[in-house]
Structure formats: C-alpha cells, structure tokens
Amino acid sequence: MPEKAPPLRVLLVDNHEVVRSGVKALLQATEDVLVSAEAGSGREAIDEADRARPDVVVMDVRLGGRSWGHSACIREDRWPWRRGASRRENRCGTWNRRRCEMKFVVVYESMFGNTEAVAQAIAAGLREAGEVKLGTVDALSPEEVRNAALLVAGGPTHAHGMARRNAHEAIAGERSYRPYGAVQPGHESLRGWIERLTVAPAKAAVFDTRFNKPMLITGSAAKKIAARLERKGYSVIEARSFFVETTGGPLAEGESDRALEWGRELGARARSAIAA
C-alpha cells in the first residue's frame, strides 16, 4: 500500500478564541488537516509561523479591526516552504526561501531627465524592501497602484507648481529652453494621471525637483502633488525636494544619493507599519 501523506499543518490566526475554536473543529473534521498552532494577533502569527512552520496559514485579514494581510507575508523568507512546492519537497528540506515582497509604485514626469534620475534612485532604495513598479505618467497606468503599499509620485517644479498638460510641447517650442538640451517626450501630465486615479485610497509620498532656494521663491510641485492626492483620499506621509544646478540640470551634488536613501527610508517605514 502507498504511504499515507502526512496531514496538512495549519496555523490558525484570529483574535477571537471562540471563532478559532469553531474553525479549528471544522478544519480537523478531516484527518487530512491538523491545526498545529494558533495565534491571536499578527505579531503572534509571525512568531508561531517561525516556531511551528505550518504548510498553510488561515488568517482573519481584518484582525482586531486592522489589516494584517501582509503580516505573515513579510516573514515568508524565514518560513520553510516554497509556493507551489509539494509538502514532501518542503519536508525534505528542498526549500526556496523566497521573499514575499511588498509592492511600491513610483510614477513621475520629467522634462530634462533630472526628475527621472531622482525617481530611479528612489525606486532603487525601495527595491530593498519589495517589488517596485517604476514609470512615467505616460507609461504607467493608474491601475498599477492597486494593492500597492505606497505610491510615490513626483515631477519638476514648473511655474511655481506642477507642470501643465501641454508643458512638454510648450517648453520644447521655447527658445529660452534650448540651451538645456532636448525635452523628454511626453503627452500625459502628472495632473491628469492623478485625476484618473480610481483605486481605493492608500498612503503616498511625493517629491519634486527645483532650485535650492527658499520655497517662497521657487514654489514646489511636491506641495501641489500632495494636495491633489489628498483630495483623492490619499494619506501623504512625506514630501521631499531634490535640487538641480540649472533648469536643465544636472542634479546638485549628492542629490542622487539622498534620493536613494529616502527610498530606503520609505521602504523601511512601510514594512514597520505593517509589522507593528
């Protein structure tokens, strides 16, 4: 006779003990399932998963009135299983400790490439914490924000605020801008991109590029971006400015490194907020 497969080991997570007991009884009504561990909070779930190493986690995603949907996910690199692998493979130790990554979206518009360079540096920092979708307002659909832990949006400061819809075409046609080189192609604006956002409200961070002078003189695209996102229901956790030497660039010394570090900080804050 073929060897009988071991039962599926389950970690059951719910902050109501009565609910856990009822679900446990239902799950263990079959001999193929064993509730090997229980937890009453997201933090306990992480500890119990490390200890019990279950095959499956059954969790109330609105644990205690807040979302713990990613609590277990962010520790998958410490759990001994691979998605799609059989239980036999897992128990034999052929485990791929693949990290379950958070999702970040970095969207930007750029005239002369300076804001693009900042966005790329921010994205590089965020990648240390999770998956990053990076793109211009022309290339990236607002739908990409769905299920993202954080939206990061930025653009150049133009006329004391955000660039208007026809800014790329207008700047390319003005002689005064020609010494700075070719204007990057673009049809959509960050204004329009934000207007098309339809996904559920989430957290956002914003940035701009501008001269290193008092904001009263230069204005700030970041402030305007934040205001528009807040009107859409987003919670803007931080705004940053990165400085350029001239209208066409380059970025001031050290600004790329500062953007990279900010990306790392944002990623760390997002993970801490979910794990807390």
Q: Quick one: pLDDT at residue 92?
A: 35
Alpha-carbon gap, residue 92 to 71, rounded angstroms: 26
Alpha-carbon gap, residue 187 to 230, rounded angstroms: 24
Domain containing residue 81: 8-91
Q: Quick one: pLDDT at residue 211?
A: 96
| Residue 96 falls inside a structural domain | no
Alpha-carbon gap, residue 228 to 145, rounded angstroms: 16
- Strand 203-210 relative to strand 150-156: parallel, antiparallel, unpaired? parallel
Q: Which of 91, 121, 149 is the last residue of a domain?
A: 91
Whether 114 and 189 map to the same domain: the answer is yes
Q: Quick one: pLDDT at residue 198?
A: 85
Contact present, 27 and 12 (Cβ < 8 Å) = yes
| Residue 268 falls inside a structural domain | yes
Whether 46 and 172 map to the same domain: the answer is no
Which residues are CB-contacts of 161 (< 8 A; sequence separation ≥ 6)? 219, 220, 221, 223, 224
Q: Which helix (H) or strand (E) holds 268?
A: helix 255-275
| Residue 2 falls inside a structural domain | no
Whether 67 and 125 map to the same domain: the answer is no
Low-confidence ranges of the chain (pLDDT < 50): 65-100
Whether 37 and 169 map to the same domain: the answer is no
The number of distinct structural domains making up the chain is 2
Alpha-carbon gap, residue 2 to 117, rounded angstroms: 60
Q: Quick one: pLDDT at residue 82?
A: 39
Alpha-carbon gap, residue 39 to 65, rounded angstroms: 16
| Residue 47 falls inside a structural domain | yes
Whether 60 and 169 map to the same domain: the answer is no
Q: Quick one: pLDDT at residue 172?
A: 66
Whether 142 and 58 map to the same domain: the answer is no
| Residue 142 falls inside a structural domain | yes
- The whole-model pTM stands at 0.64
The DSSP annotation for 195-233 comes to HT--SPP-EEEEEEEE-SS-HHHH--HHHHHHHHHHHTT
∠ CA 131-132-134, rounded to 5°: 160
Please count the other Cβ atoms lying within 10 Å of the Cβ belonging to residue 175: 6
Listed in sequence order, the DSSP H helices in 81-147 are 87-91, 114-126
